[in-house]
């Protein structure tokens, strides 16, 4: 009887437990497709996942080799820190490791002061960067994610944070820092050894980075990325007491049941002098069907490098993305054979 019971249990299809987050999202990093989610546009406190925006802003607007002299701005930091001291010197790159691996609130203030000239100026740049990325439901009041004395705090949505992470992961320096499990840093005063608080990097082989967060008001927030067999995913959870396990199970669900398909091939012939520059890949389930739609513009007066159309990718009636078509006419001289070029040369003699 027991053997029959075990056999019956083994035949039950595998299904992951319900996600315990108040809001969450799974996004295909390459196409931006939302694969799954709940309350994806609900504004929430985001705690230290804020530091993803702090990091990419500092990387883009600062010089990673700059030596930063820590000033008194760090005195207002509380909570998690790397415990740097006023007058201590270390590179901006090193501070970013302290920011992302140890969630240093003191590091966030030192970075903001150095790159922006002041915390307020840096926060202005952060908000402008967020808008440029397309984060429509986000507002940042500081570079750390802590609540301010007046009660204000950084707010965003799981969708916006996935957009931010998708953008940041295109940067080589960001990927290097967020994917580091541990590092030893030497400043002008002491030596630090930091371990990444994102334990998914250690317990899940396919994790490539991310950022943890926690405050009493925001509860646990977590952003992670993972890659397997050409599939690159982002998971964001807010207010999730079981976040690391939830992220791992969501990754396994899609890695095991979905595939990456090349839906636009850059080598496809769309006409004379019409070129694609990039392929387009899409994460698809076994029963999902996609379509492509060719949109052409008048190319009679096109110049080299101009956009003359696009190829759209459509799934379930929705345009998920596209690749531009470019006019690239090869000059006559480039098509000439060696003999033709030699004869042209001899005409001058």
Spatial separation of the C-alpha atoms in residues 147 and 154, rounded to whole Å: 8
Q: In degrees rounded to 5, what are phi and psi of residue 157?
A: -125, 160
| pLDDT score, position 299 | 73
Give the chain's domains with CATH numbers.
23-258 (3.40.710.10), 265-332 (no CATH)
Q: Does the annotation count 306 as an active-site position?
A: no
Find the catalytic residue in 44, 48, 113, 138: 48
Q: In degrees rounded to 5, what are phi and psi of residue 325?
A: -105, 135
| pLDDT score, position 92 | 98
- The average pLDDT across 87-93 equals 98
CB 155 within 8 Å of CB 43: yes
96-130 pLDDT, tens digit each: 999 999 999 999 999 999 999 999 999 999 999 99
- The average pLDDT across 264-272 equals 93
Find the catalytic residue in 23, 51, 138, 310: 51
Q: Report the b/e string of 233-252 with b at 16+ CB within 10 A.
A: bbbbbbbbeebbbbbbebbb
Spatial separation of the C-alpha atoms in residues 341 and 336, rounded to whole Å: 6
Find the catalytic residue in 103, 113, 138, 187: 103
338, two tokens: 């060696």
Q: Does the annotation count 48 as an active-site position?
A: yes
- The average pLDDT across 283-295 equals 94
| pLDDT score, position 9 | 38
300, two tokens: 């009679």
Partners of 309 in beta bridges:
296, 325
Spatial separation of the C-alpha atoms in residues 324 and 264, rounded to whole Å: 11
How is residue 229 annotated by DSSP? Answer: T
Is residue 272 predicted with pLDDT exceeding 90?
no
| pLDDT score, position 182 | 98
């Amino acid at each position: 009887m027991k053997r029959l019971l075990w056999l019956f249990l083994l035949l039950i299809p595998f299904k992951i437990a319900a996600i315990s987050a108040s809001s969450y999202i799974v996004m295909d990093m390459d196409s931006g497709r939302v694969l799954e989610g709940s309350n994806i546009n609900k504004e929430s406190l985001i705690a230290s996942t804020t530091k993803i925006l702090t990091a990419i802003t500092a990387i883009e607007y600062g010089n990673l080799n700059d030596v930063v002299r820590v000033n008194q701005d760090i005195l207002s930091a509380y909570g998690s820190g790397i415990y740097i001291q006023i007058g201590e010197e270390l590179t901006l790159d090193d501070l970013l490791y302290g920011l992302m691996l140890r969630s240093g609130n003191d590091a966030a203030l030192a970075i903001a002061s150095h790159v922006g000239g002041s915390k307020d100026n840096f926060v202005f740049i952060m908000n402008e960067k967020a808008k440029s990325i397309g984060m429509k439901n986000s507002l940042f009041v500081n570079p750390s994610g802590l609540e301010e004395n007046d009660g204000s705090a950084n707010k965003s949505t799981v969708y916006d944070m996935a957009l931010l992470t998708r953008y940041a992961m295109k940067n080589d320096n960001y990927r290097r820092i967020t994917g580091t499990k541990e590092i030893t840093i030497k400043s002008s005063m002491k030596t630090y050894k930091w371990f990444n608080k994102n334990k998914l990097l250690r317990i899940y082989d396919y994790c490539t980075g991310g950022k943890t967060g926690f405050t009493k008001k925001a509860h646990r927030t977590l952003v992670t990325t993972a890659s397997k067999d050409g599939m690159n995913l982002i998971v964001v959870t807010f207010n999730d007491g079981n976040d690391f396990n939830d992220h791992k199970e969501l990754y396994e669900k899609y890695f095991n049941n979905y595939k990456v398909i090349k839906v636009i091939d850059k080598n496809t012939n769309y006409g004379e002098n019409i070129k694609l520059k990039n392929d387009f890949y899409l994460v698809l389930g076994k029963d999902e069907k996609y379509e492509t739609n060719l949109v052409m513009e008048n190319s009679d007066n096109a110049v080299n490098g101009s956009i003359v159309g696009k190829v759209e990718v459509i799934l379930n009636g929705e345009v998920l993305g596209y690749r531009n078509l470019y006019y690239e006419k090869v000059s006559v001289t480039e098509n000439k054979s060696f003999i033709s070029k030699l004869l042209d040369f001899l005409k001058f003699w």
